[in-house]
Amino acid sequence: MTICEGRGLYDPFLSATANDAAGNLPGVTLSYTQANTAGLYTGIHAITTDEQTADVMHRPVHPGISGGNRGNPSSPYGAAVSCNPANLKVINSDVFLPEAPDNWQAMQCIYKVPDDVTHVNLCLENISATRVGNDFGIDVLSFRQCTNGAAIGATLDRISCELGTDATVLGIPLSTQLVHFDGKLKGNNVLLNWIVNVETNVRVYEVQRAVSGGKFQTIGKVAARGGQGQPIVYDFVDRDLPLGQQFVYYRLNVVNYDGTHGFSPIVDIKIESINQLQLTLSPNPIKTGEVSQLIFDAPQAGSGTISVINLLGAIIKRQNMTINKGKNSINIDTQGLKAGVYLIKLHTGQLQEAKRLVIVD
């Protein structure tokens, strides 16, 4: 979600350069009432009957379609005209919307308006983490002034958005001044940390996690320590990461003693590397009857199967093993195997990987 900030509405009697110099928006999309009240859209740029009937006016006007009836507009128009980067502000780029066909969900954002900004263009874009299922719709879009704006303005470190079912809940509770929330992948774990400046009436921080297309689930809780005026640092380690995922998403559910709660911004962590077992065989090549050691790094404890496969795809040997989280090693006995090239395949839960083993006379 981005906002293009302006000190005035787009004036169709001015050039693009002149509008930019005046601080006006590069283009506008307005309702009939808004456009009529502005008093700018007269003469050759007057509101048309069709625009009045449709209750929407674009300036610059829709340029027409290129490429047939199903083509795209031949140039940007209305509020979609590119914004001067100096006036462009990213509201949020990490709101994760769980898959919910035909269900509406509220999204609320906090935007602190600079003193000299009088008008804005809002752009809401859907970027699918899986690149599947990009369709979405907007039912109602509304702006309202925060009644507790002074308190928010004093504590807001980053512009944030959140998803929720209650349109009256906006951001984390004001009893908490969250100034930092981030995480990183270290080994096969994700380390989360957050910093709170003020913490009043907060009972617990629920750490919630989701995968692409899934719902947030609570995976742990951290008791609030309470404090005011001094930064409080919290940490949480997720030691049970889901396999087969490229990203995981985290948020905090801040729960107060009175039962009220609110969510932090969402943090996305790339965990694709944990899906690799990083197999090595050493020594390799070896002579018939010698032992080669299979070494790998497992993201989770469990069980696995090792198969020795010849070039025809036939399984020559198979053995089961218990896998520890982290570094593992097991001896591959080649007794009875003829000289040739074999595939050593390890299958563990959702992961599998293979390495070639060369046996010589």
Q: Are residues 218 and 239 in the same domain?
A: yes
Residue finishing a domain among 100, 123, 146: 123
Query: Is the model's pLDDT at 330 over the cut of 80?
Result: yes
Residue 353 lies in a domain: yes
Residues 6+ positions from 27 with CB-CB distance below 8 Å: 10, 58, 59, 60, 76, 77, 78, 79, 80, 81, 121
Residue 316 lies in a domain: yes
Cα pseudo-dihedral 241, 244, 246, 250, rounded to 10: -30
Residue 155 lies in a domain: no
Give the integer Cα–Cα distance in Å for 175 and 200.
5
Q: What is the pLDDT of residues 197-254, one digit of tens each?
A: 778 888 999 999 988 767 889 999 999 987 766 788 999 999 988 887 888 889 888 8
Q: What residue type is 202 in one-letter code? A: V
Please state which of the ranges 15-24, 77-86, 192-201 shows the lowest mean pLDDT: 192-201
Task: Please name the residue ranges forming H helices in the chain.
Answer: 16-22, 32-38, 49-54, 149-155
pLDDT score recorded for residue 157: 44
Give the integer Cα–Cα distance in Å for 246 and 257.
36
pLDDT score recorded for residue 131: 55
pLDDT score recorded for residue 111: 77
Q: Which helix (H) or strand (E) holds 353?
A: strand 351-360
Mean pLDDT of 307-327: 88
Radius of gyration of the chain (CA): 29
Question: Domain holding 293: CATH number?
Answer: 2.60.40.1930
Residue range(s) defining the domain that contains residue 66: 2-90+111-123
pLDDT score recorded for residue 100: 58
The phi, psi pair for 4, rounded to 5°, reads -100, 115
Residue 130 lies in a domain: no
Residue finishing a domain among 102, 123, 144: 123
* Domain count along the chain: 3
pLDDT score recorded for residue 326: 83
Q: Are residues 266 and 282 in the same domain?
A: no
Q: Are residues 24 and 65 in the same domain?
A: yes
The encoded tokens of residue 30 equal 């307005």
pLDDT confidence tier of residue 333, bands split at 50, 70 and 90: confident
DSSP letter string over 218-235?
Answer: EEEEEE---EEEEEEEEE
Average pLDDT value over all residues in the chain:
81
Q: Are residues 194 and 253 in the same domain?
A: yes
Residue 284 lies in a domain: yes
Q: Are residues 80 and 187 in the same domain?
A: no
Question: Domain holding 230: CATH number?
Answer: 2.60.40.10
pLDDT confidence tier of residue 44, bands split at 50, 70 and 90: very high
Give the integer Cα–Cα distance in Å for 198 and 218.
24
Mean pLDDT of 348-360: 85
Q: Are residues 230 and 174 in the same domain?
A: yes
pLDDT score recorded for residue 166: 47
Residue 98 lies in a domain: no
Residue 142 lies in a domain: no
Whether the model clears a pTM of 0.95, i.e. scores above it, the answer is no
The encoded tokens of residue 281 equal 């065989």
Residue 137 lies in a domain: no
